[in-house]
Structure 1
Amino acid sequence: MLDGALGEGKVADTAMSQPGSVTGGTDDSALGRAVWRLRSRGCWDDAAALLAPGAEKDAYLAVERTHLLVERAMFTGDGWAPAEDALRAAESLAGDNEERGAAACERGNLAYATTVFRGRDRSDEARVALGRAAALLTPGSRLRPRLDFRRGLVAHHITRNAAAAQAAFKRAHEAAAAQGDALLCSFTWRHLAGLAAEDGERAEAHKGFSESLRIREELGYLVGIAPALASLADVEDEEPEATRLRGEARRLVRLLGGVPKWLADQLAQPAS
């Protein structure tokens, strides 16, 4: 997920005091609003370009630019090399433990995404990097919820430890709610619902997927609405409603040019 000059010095101060906010819709600066509008519509390259000038000097902006490019790679299946380059640049700027922890968290995320979405096993790197981030970030860091969420992803999709994944997602959910990070709450709702669905708890899964969808619609996170619709359809008891939800998901994927690619491929498959 274009404005002109946006006061880079002031924005850098905001990013330093509230790391992780500039790409997530919680930063009300001109830059934060512009980046969010682009990210939410799947225009990750344009959003990353807005961050590029500040990211040359500010470690947190460099991490957030990496975050955008990793998300682009996950959604489109392309652009892995620019994400790697952005991550190395962010790591080179890190000057204290908090900044090093932020960069390590992003390395863990990229290694996880490469393993799951690209089929290149970097699972050990993901675990080590997220463990390093946990050791470096302060207990009260604003990046702790993001870190817990990513550790949940690794536990769920790589190590297949559902109990550890659920515990991590719940920690992330509670902390994100306390910080007012609605977007992260939409992700934690979604993944807690996925665990519930795997356990056959369809009512609980339906609730979680519905909450995730509601938040994304309210935030205008357009690029994330189709996956939420498709997941809700999978636990919908009434087939006409499930069919409607999947049809809406297909429409949105077409509107966004086939993004997310993994969902476009899934929706193209004939119904079983």
Structure 2
Amino acid sequence: WNQWLQFKTEQVTSFVAEVSHFLKQQKPNVILSVAVFSNPEQERVMKIQQQWEVWAKKGYVDLIVPMTYAMDTNRLQRITQPLTQEQKLGSALISPSIKLLNISEIVAIDQLQSLRDLPTGGYSIFAVESIGNNLQNYFHRTQNHSSKTQPPIPYRQPFAAAHDRYLALKREWSFLLANEQLWIRDGELKSLSIQAEDLAQTLKQLEDNPSPQTLGIAQQKLATFQKQFQISMRLQALERPYQVSSWGNRLASIEMLLRYGERRIRN
């Protein structure tokens, strides 16, 4: 039975690989996304032989859209969190999804916010006809863009999206600092501020002139900033652990976008 299961799983993976190879021969810049089941890997392989972690790590697909449908936010987080690990995704992006049918707009907004606080490449919504006025207003408020400017699409403009997300984090930190709601020791604040500004400039350079060299510098500076961030935010974490955790996740999502962008440069 195990051999038969392995054979069927390999057949599915082989099909995905062949489709990916064919499409990218025809159109090298094509972005291949897959809507997949969100069950744990072992259970999923047993039931439907869908091992999308292999597809992601081997570069067969660019964007994973797991159907993380849930009626409440806690369950959504329990389903989604294990799927966002780097070792599962390689350099692919992951965009968990919310099914609007049969949930209220309040719950939908809560779920959207929870996904924004996880290390993901974005989120997907099923389906567009279920988006009401309250959700439209939520998107308008949270995107921080004028009506004339469209926010960058992560899977098409990963470096612009990384820079955009980082600036949103900086604005949030600046607001809290100005209102004395950010607890960082003075010496650490100065060092972190210098690193934060340096990283912002590097991400802007990467957005404007993407190259392997600039990307490598940005990844190095981001890693350095993440380490300093964890140290400097320890007092804030005592008061507001979820907030600091979500900031760490959002920095991790920027790291994910840079990894994904690396494959776009290479291809």
Alignment TM-score, normalising by the size of structure 1: 0.32
Question: When you count strand as a share of all residues, which structure comes out higher?
Answer: 2
Higher relative contact order (CA 8 A, sep 6+): 2
Higher helix share: 1
